[in-house]
Amino acid sequence: MSWGIIGTWRMALEGIVEAEKLLKDGQTSIDAIELAVKMVEDHPEYRSVGYGGLPNQDCEVELDAAFMDGDTLSIGAVGSIKDFKNPISIARKLMDEKYNIFLVGQGAEKYAHTMGFERVNMLTDYSKKEWEKKKSQVKLDKLKAYDGHDTVGVVGLDKNGKIVAATSTSGLFMKRPGRIGDSPLSGSGFYADSEIGAASATGVGEDIMKGCISYEIVRLMEEGLHPQDAAEKAVNKLNKKLISKRGKAKDISVVCMNNKGQWGVATNISKFSFVVATETEKPTVYIASFNE
Ligand code: SD4
């Protein structure tokens, strides 16, 4: 059976190199994708995910993450969680729950603590300095100037045909405390169904969630579209709709894979880097651009 993995942004490379070994070895896509995302979360220089993530208006690193198992449609997600090392592992753990699968803020922290996850201050000196610099530049009551806001979104298929999706992010730099983007929202930041495929998004969550784009891509793949066509169709449609209804579309980029290991990618920005590894292709970084 085919296997493969695709992740958003160049920062996914090191994790995908390790995850590829697990998939090749016949291990589950859940373990492989958790490892891939954890490696991005643990990297202090990847400043929009996990440790060293960019802080909110109050100079606190609030993180969002989600996991979805396409075999069972189990979902686990956390939003606005502070001071825990690997939000993706907490999201994975929440997939075991029947109820209370999406926890935010103090509730998520309480759960993580109860489950024995490691408490760590995720703010680095670098991020604090960036916050101080930005604070002097932007008016804090205005939602703007969000540079450095990338999500790692990874989709993986294992040899047993299990397809999963996972996301992790610190969200938008200088966001309001408590703001949650698309990344932990099922159907927006991610979706996975092993009978079809999976997708994940990155960009400005406020726009991504207006189109439930990850679900839309999986739905288009179910209609028979190749992942590449599904990704392009969904991004172009949402982009056009946002422009016609709101005058402007913010950044939207997506990756997806079907249950045959075929993949697709689309973006409405000029340069979107992503990483792919499949049975026939070593981990490779590509750049996609807007294809109207
Ligand atoms: C969010 N979608 O919180 C995330 C951020 C991101 O590229 O992916 N930026 O809105």
The answer on whether 176 is annotated among ligand-binding residues is no
Q: Long-range contacts: 232-238, Cβ < 8 Å, 24+?
A: 232/264, 232/266, 232/291, 234/266, 235/266, 235/267, 235/268, 236/266, 236/268, 236/292, 237/211, 238/207, 238/208, 238/210, 238/211, 238/213
Q: Could you give the 3-state DSSP secondary structure of residue 285? A: strand
pLDDT band of 53, cuts 50, 70, 90: confident
Per the CB < 8 A criterion, the answer to whether 121 and 53 are in contact is no
More confident residue, 266 or 42: 266
Separation in Å, CA 176 to CA 47, 232, 290: 18, 31, 30
CA 155 to centroid of ligand 1, rounded, Å: 16
Query: Which residue among 204, 207, 235, 253 is best mutated to probe the pocket of ligand 1, counting the most ligand atoms within 8 A of its Cβ?
Result: 204
Q: Where are the alpha helices (DSSP H) in the chain?
A: 13-24, 29-42, 87-94, 105-114, 125-137, 205-208, 213-222, 227-246
Share of the chain above pLDDT 70, in %: 96
CB of 55 shorter than 6 A to ligand 1:
no
The set of catalytic residues is 151
CB of 202 shorter than 6 A to ligand 1:
yes
Compute the average pLDDT of residues 207-218.
98
**Neighbour count for residue 289 (Cβ, 10 Å):** 11
Which ipTM value was assigned to this complex? 0.97
Question: What are the tokens at 194?
Answer: 């092993």
Q: Could you give the 3-state DSSP secondary structure of residue 121? A: coil
Q: What is the pLDDT of residues 186-206, one digit of tens each?
A: 999 999 999 999 999 999 999
Beta strand pairing call for 252-258 and 263-267 = antiparallel
Per the CB < 8 A criterion, the answer to whether 225 and 218 are in contact is no
User: What whole-number distance in Å separates Cα of residue 91 and Cα of residue 229?
Assistant: 30
pLDDT band of 172, cuts 50, 70, 90: confident
User: What whole-number distance in Å separates Cα of residue 98 and Cα of residue 9?
Assistant: 32
Q: Check pLDDT > 70 for residue 281.
A: yes
Q: What is the pLDDT of residues 125-151, one digit of tens each?
A: 888 888 888 777 665 444 443 455 688
User: What whole-number distance in Å separates Cα of residue 256 and Cα of residue 156?
Assistant: 9
Q: Check pLDDT > 90 for residue 160.
A: yes
CA 181 to centroid of ligand 1, rounded, Å: 6
Report the atom number in ligand 1 closest to the C-alpha of 180: 3
Residue 142 one-letter amino acid: K
